[in-house]
């Protein structure tokens, strides 16, 4: 469909081609660039559909008007499409065979000199781009990203609808939801001292929709989490949120695979299904991460057995500990090893042991403390001309730090290939995790996640061994989605609440409405949510999710375009019953 339909132009700039020779056209758009060759004047005119060259010479009445225009002015022109003279075609432009000989020009609006050129090949400071986002979005690559996002949203709606899903909107002004991040709160004017919470996800509502009998629900839902904006996060993000009744885990994963495959196909990326699956335990012990990047190998080697009777002090870890290492095929220098030691220390490690094997010889400051058997065993494990980095300590933390070291080594050794997509499910997440800060167990996903019945026996003796029907989708080391089957039996829900120390009245007060709904016939159900921004970022190979969000916040949570967050008037505060203290 022409972009010119329902408008006072006849064509989009990018729609002109040699089939339209001698057609008289009306075009509108922004002046992209101007080349004045004395006799002739050329103007590139840009609209959303693309760019076309306008031309005028002193003989034509439009010449003077066209000579007056400046970059980013908005103009309307009339003219005739003609073939560009031989030798002046531009094969790089879709409209490069033709130009428009302008007969009249109307300036619709002028523009100040923009603070940066509307050219996607120019590097512009991101703060400036965010402040003048409307100019930044004029750049064709940014426009393209947002159009792709629109296509993804359409495809998601089409695919899910075709599979019997109904899109239902859930409220933005609601009660706290159980995703475990900090809530954004909205004070109530009518009930002083009371607050709405913006949803961290539609979790409770989508489960209630299952009780209501919708069976297959989805929503492109905005979710709000007031977290410290580490890495590439936004205080609000969009989820493809899904919930299904009468399903098991395979049903949710199967549907998800088809959906994800279609999204990537829009970017001409073919993903093979079924996706690989590994359990959380395996992901942790092999890659030190619950979102492993499988574009490169470099797996963790368990050395606990080698050093089980060791005299090396730093390797004495007790029964719950682990000694494990990474063995990149490179002989690292002392200074490189020192830098990596600093790296792991910053991640919380006490230190980093190392053994270098070069020309068949083993070197290490620890060599003189190692037994003959240990040296023999190490020698059989370490690659020729390589470095074996070893860490020892509490299992989970040690593996996690090794996982980070694994990524750092891959970066240094340039092991990460471009344009590859390694997709996998991580399944069987633990039901609980230990919060060192709060000195208590917390639900790893959320307290409605269904535990695997056969692991519930560990609830009292070793809660970390209780596994859940919880799964994450990981692409190239990025978690792009996650979900779970949900508890639908009241006695199991009670067990989990009891274990988490959520008292009856607290449960009632926080999610009593859900528990009450569960008294009225609840189908077995489960679901998943995908981060739309992250999926698009990966599919398009962008460096940041901000490049596929029209109006993102900065890393420090501000909007440079509007100035949000901002102060409000005393009157507004009064109405809300709020007083600001320093």
DSSP 450: P
User: Minimum CB separation from ligand ASP for residue 444, in Å?
Assistant: 11
Cβ contacts of 440 within 8 Å, gap of 6 or more: 434, 500, 501
Q: Using the rule CB under 6 A, is 201 a contact of ligand ASP?
A: yes
- For ligand ASP, which is the closer residue by CB, 214 or 343? 214
Q: Which two tokens stand for residue 43?
A: 């103007």
- For ligand ASP, which is the closer residue by CB, 12 or 481? 481
- For ligand ASP, which is the closer residue by CB, 349 or 528? 528
User: Minimum CB separation from ligand ASP for residue 487, in Å?
Assistant: 12
Peptide bond into 289 cis (omega under 30): no
Task: Tell me which stretch binds ligand ASP (CB under 6 A): 22-30, 69-77, 382-390, 522-530.
Answer: 522-530
DSSP string, 113-124: PPSS-S-TTS--
- For ligand ASP, which is the closer residue by CB, 139 or 525? 525
User: Minimum CB separation from ligand ASP for residue 481, in Å?
Assistant: 8
DSSP string, 129-187: HHHTHHHHTTSHHHHHHHHHHHHHHHHHHHHHHHTT-EE----SSB---TTSSPPPEEE
- For ligand ASP, which is the closer residue by CB, 528 or 537? 528
- For ligand ASP, which is the closer residue by CB, 354 or 429? 429
Task: Tell me which stretch binds ligand ASP (CB under 6 A): 51-59, 378-386, 521-529, 570-578.
Answer: 521-529
d(CA 344, CA 325): 13
Ranges within 467-486 binding ligand ASP (CB under 6 A): 482-484
Cβ atoms of residues 467 and 430 within 8 Å? yes
- For ligand ASP, which is the closer residue by CB, 477 or 482? 482
Task: Tell me which stretch binds ligand ASP (CB under 6 A): 5-13, 79-87, 431-439, 523-531.
Answer: 523-531
User: Minimum CB separation from ligand ASP for residue 529, in Å?
Assistant: 4
Residue of 47, 527, 532, 537 interacting with ligand ASP (CB under 6 A): 527
Helical spans, DSSP H, in 355-480: 372-381, 395-412
- For ligand ASP, which is the closer residue by CB, 12 or 482? 482
C-alpha distance across the termini of the chain, in Å: 57
d(CA 77, CA 26): 6
C-beta neighbour count of 523 within 10 angstroms: 13
- For ligand ASP, which is the closer residue by CB, 221 or 536? 221
Ranges within 445-464 binding ligand ASP (CB under 6 A): none
User: Minimum CB separation from ligand ASP for residue 428, in Å?
Assistant: 15
Cβ atoms of residues 3 and 17 within 8 Å? no
User: Minimum CB separation from ligand ASP for residue 206, in Å?
Assistant: 7
User: Minimum CB separation from ligand ASP for residue 575, in Å?
Assistant: 33
Residue of 95, 170, 203, 398 interacting with ligand ASP (CB under 6 A): 203
Cβ atoms of residues 396 and 249 within 8 Å? no
User: Minimum CB separation from ligand ASP for residue 527, in Å?
Assistant: 4
- For ligand ASP, which is the closer residue by CB, 218 or 354? 218
Q: At what angle do helices 203-211 and 504-517 cross, to 10 degrees?
A: 50
d(CA 521, CA 212): 9
Backbone angles phi, psi at 451, to 5 degrees: -75, 155
- For ligand ASP, which is the closer residue by CB, 179 or 408? 179
User: Minimum CB separation from ligand ASP for residue 479, in Å?
Assistant: 10
Q: Using the rule CB under 6 A, is 531 a contact of ligand ASP?
A: no
- For ligand ASP, which is the closer residue by CB, 391 or 545? 545
- For ligand ASP, which is the closer residue by CB, 129 or 445? 445
Residue of 312, 352, 496, 529 interacting with ligand ASP (CB under 6 A): 529
Q: Sketch the per residue contact string, 343 through 382, with ligand ASP: x for CB under 6 A, - otherwise.
A: ----------------------------------------
Dihedral sign, CA of 544, 548, 553, 557? negative
User: Minimum CB separation from ligand ASP for residue 170, in Å?
Assistant: 11
DSSP 273: S
Q: Using the rule CB under 6 A, is 433 a contact of ligand ASP?
A: no
Q: Sketch the per residue contact string, 146 through 185, with ligand ASP: x for CB under 6 A, - otherwise.
A: ---------------------------------x------
Between the alpha carbon of residue 175 and those of residues 73, 196, 205, 490, 514, the distances in Å are 48, 6, 11, 22, 12
Chain residue whose CB lies nearest ligand ASP = 201
Task: Tell me which stretch binds ligand ASP (CB under 6 A): 371-379, 452-460, 527-535, 565-573.
Answer: 527-535
Q: Using the rule CB under 6 A, is 528 a contact of ligand ASP?
A: yes
Q: What is the 3-state secondary structure (H, E, C) of 472-537?
A: EEEECCEEEEEEEEECCCHHHHHHHHHHHCCCHHHHHHHHHHHHHHHHHCCCCEEEEEEEHHHHHH
Helical spans, DSSP H, in 173-331: 203-211, 249-265, 280-287
Determine the size of the site formed for ligand ASP (CB under 6 A): 9
Q: Using the rule CB under 6 A, is 245 a contact of ligand ASP?
A: no
Nearest one of 241, 198, 217, 159 to 482, comparing CA atoms = 241
d(CA 412, CA 253): 35
d(CA 556, CA 234): 9
User: Minimum CB separation from ligand ASP for residue 243, in Å?
Assistant: 7
User: Minimum CB separation from ligand ASP for residue 245, in Å?
Assistant: 13
- For ligand ASP, which is the closer residue by CB, 95 or 203? 203
The contact set with ligand ASP (CB under 6 A) reads 179, 201, 203, 482-484, 527-529
């Amino acid at each position: 469909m022409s972009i010119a339909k329902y408008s006072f132009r006849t064509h989009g700039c990018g729609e002109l081609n040699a089939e339209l020779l001698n057609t008289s056209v009306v075009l509108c758009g922004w002046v992209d660039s101007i080349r004045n060759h004395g006799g002739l004047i050329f103007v590139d005119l840009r609209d959303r559909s693309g760019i076309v060259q306008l031309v005028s010479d002193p003989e034509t009445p439009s010449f003077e008007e066209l000579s007056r225009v400046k970059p980013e002015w908005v103009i309307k022109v009339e003219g005739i499409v003609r073939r560009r003279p031989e030798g002046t075609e531009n094969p790089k432009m879709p409209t490069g065979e033709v130009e428009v000989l302008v007969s009249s020009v109307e300036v619709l609006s002028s523009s100040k000199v923009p603070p940066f050129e509307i050219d996607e090949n120019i590097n512009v400071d991101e703060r400036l781009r965010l402040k003048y986002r409307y100019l930044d979005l004029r750049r064709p690559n940014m426009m393209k990203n947002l159009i792709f996002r629109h296509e993804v949203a359409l495809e998601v709606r089409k695919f899910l609808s075709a599979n019997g899903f109904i899109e239902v909107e859930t409220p933005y002004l609601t009660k706290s939801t159980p995703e475990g991040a900090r809530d954004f709160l909205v004070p109530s004017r009518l009930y002083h001292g009371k607050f709405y919470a913006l949803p961290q996800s539609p979790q409770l509502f989508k489960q209630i929709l299952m009780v209501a009998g919708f069976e297959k629900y989805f929503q492109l839902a905005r979710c709000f989490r007031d977290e410290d904006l580490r890495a590439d996060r936004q205080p609000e993000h969009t989820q493809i949120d899904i919930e299904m009744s009468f399903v098991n885990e395979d049903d949710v994963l199967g549907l998800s695979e088809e959906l994800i495959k279609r999204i990537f196909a829009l970017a001409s990326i073919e993903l093979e299904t079924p996706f690989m699956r590994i359990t959380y335990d395996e992901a942790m012990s092999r890659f030190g991460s619950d979102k492993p990047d499988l574009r490169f190998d470099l797996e963790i080697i368990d050395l606990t057995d080698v050093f089980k009777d060791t005299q090396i002090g730093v390797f004495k870890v007790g029964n719950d500990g682990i000694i494990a290492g990474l063995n990149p095929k490179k002989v690292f220098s002392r200074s490189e090893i020192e830098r990596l030691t600093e790296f792991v220390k910053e991640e919380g490690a006490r230190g980093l042991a190392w053994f270098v094997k070069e020309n068949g010889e083993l070197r290490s400051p620890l060599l003189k403390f190692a037994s003959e058997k240990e040296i023999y065993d190490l020698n059989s494990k370490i690659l020729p001309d390589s470095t074996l980095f070893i860490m020892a300590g509490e299992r989970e933390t040690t593996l996690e730090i090794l996982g980070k070291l694994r990524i750092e080594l891959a970066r240094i050794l340039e092991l990460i290939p471009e344009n590859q997509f390694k997709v996998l499910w991580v399944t069987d997440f633990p039901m609980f995790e230990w919060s060192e800060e709060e000195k208590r167990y917390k639900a790893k996903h959320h307290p409605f996640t269904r535990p695997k019945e056969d692991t519930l026996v560990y609830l009292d003796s070793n809660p970390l061994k209780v596994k859940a029907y919880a799964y994450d989708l990981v692409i190239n080391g990025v978690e792009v989605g996650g979900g779970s089957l949900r508890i639908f039996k009241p006695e199991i829900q009670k067990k989990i609440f009891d274990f988490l120390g959520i008292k009856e009245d607290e449960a009632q007060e926080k999610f009593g409405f859900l528990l009450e709904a569960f008294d009225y016939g609840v189908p077995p159900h489960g679901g998943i949510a995908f981060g739309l921004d992250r999926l698009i970022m990966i599919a398009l190979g962008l460096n940041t999710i901000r490049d596929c969000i029209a109006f993102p916040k900065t890393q420090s949570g501000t909007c440079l375009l509007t100035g949000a967050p901002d102060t409000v008037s005393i009157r507004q505060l009064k109405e809300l019953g709020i007083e600001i203290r320093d």
